[in-house]
Amino acid sequence: MTARFEIVVIGGGAVGASIQWHLARAGRTDTVLLEKHELTAGSTWHAAGNVPTFSNSWLGQRAGNYAWQVYSELAADPDDPITYRHTTAFWPGHTPERIDHFHHLVAIATGLGLDLEIVSPTEMEAMHPYWSDDGTVIAGLLDPYEGDIDPSGLTQSLARRSRAMGAEVRRHSRVVGIDRLAPGADARWRVHVDKAGETDAIDCDIVVNAAGFYGAEISAMAGIEVPLAVLEHQYLCLLYTS
């Protein structure tokens, strides 16, 4: 059986759930999100959850500041709050080149009406009880908007909100193929989905690839080459005994 949606979002992590939620808020609720396992089962489940707002670009800083404002609103919702902490942060700079970079970031922020600030080592010591200047730090960048978030909780919350607005979320639905339909067809794409060993098809106008480190694999199904490389994180665990 072939289903029909306007938009198919592939990938049930924080990015895919956010895309579907933003579409729903814009009135585009004829969407389905496809996740091959459980929501957040990809890189989202072990994401650090840092929410920095500074960036090397004008667009990046706008996006970072939009994010923390949205997260603050979601965290304040008494019916479906997320775990988000607005903490602020500073970044020490040890070289003149790093300080030049900080001034570049402050200039971008100033143009956007945002508050990044250069602070001295003494000011940083006063802000953080566990940090002390060892004489190697020249100055620091203060980001008053930084915080941290639970990525898994955020994803689940966004998915619930999308469902409440009429969008659909399908778990354990692995995309196994994507075909471009002939001109004049009722839709532009056909997405083939394996669910419990049975394959169904979904016709749609738009396919959104939010598959994370499976993104290149999904793009290849549509005949598109994506220069995506997967990197493995290294973790160091320190054990202290008395």
User: Tens digits of per-residue pLDDT, 151-173?
Assistant: 999 999 999 999 999 999 999 99
pLDDT band at 242 (very low <50, low <70, confident <90, very high): low
Question: What's residue 234's pLDDT?
Answer: 64
Average pLDDT over residues 129-145: 92
214-221 average pLDDT score:
94
Write out the E strands in 72-184.
84-86, 89-93, 117-119, 139-143, 147-149, 168-170, 174-180
Tens of pLDDT, residue by residue over 89-115, are 999 999 999 999 999 999 999 999 998
Is residue 213 pLDDT above 90, yes or no?
no
Query: For residue 155, which phi and psi values (nearest 5 degrees)?
Result: -60, -45
DSSP lists the bridge partners of residue 51 as 147
**Position of tokens 């100033």?**
110
Under the banding of pLDDT at 50, 70 and 90, the label for residue 37 is very high
Antiparallel, parallel or unpaired: β 189-195 and 198-204: antiparallel
DSSP 8-class letter at 117: E
Let me know: does 90 contact 119? Beta carbons within 8 Å.
Answer: yes
| Confidence band of 48 (pLDDT split at 50, 70, 90) | confident
Rounded CA separation 175/194 (Å): 6
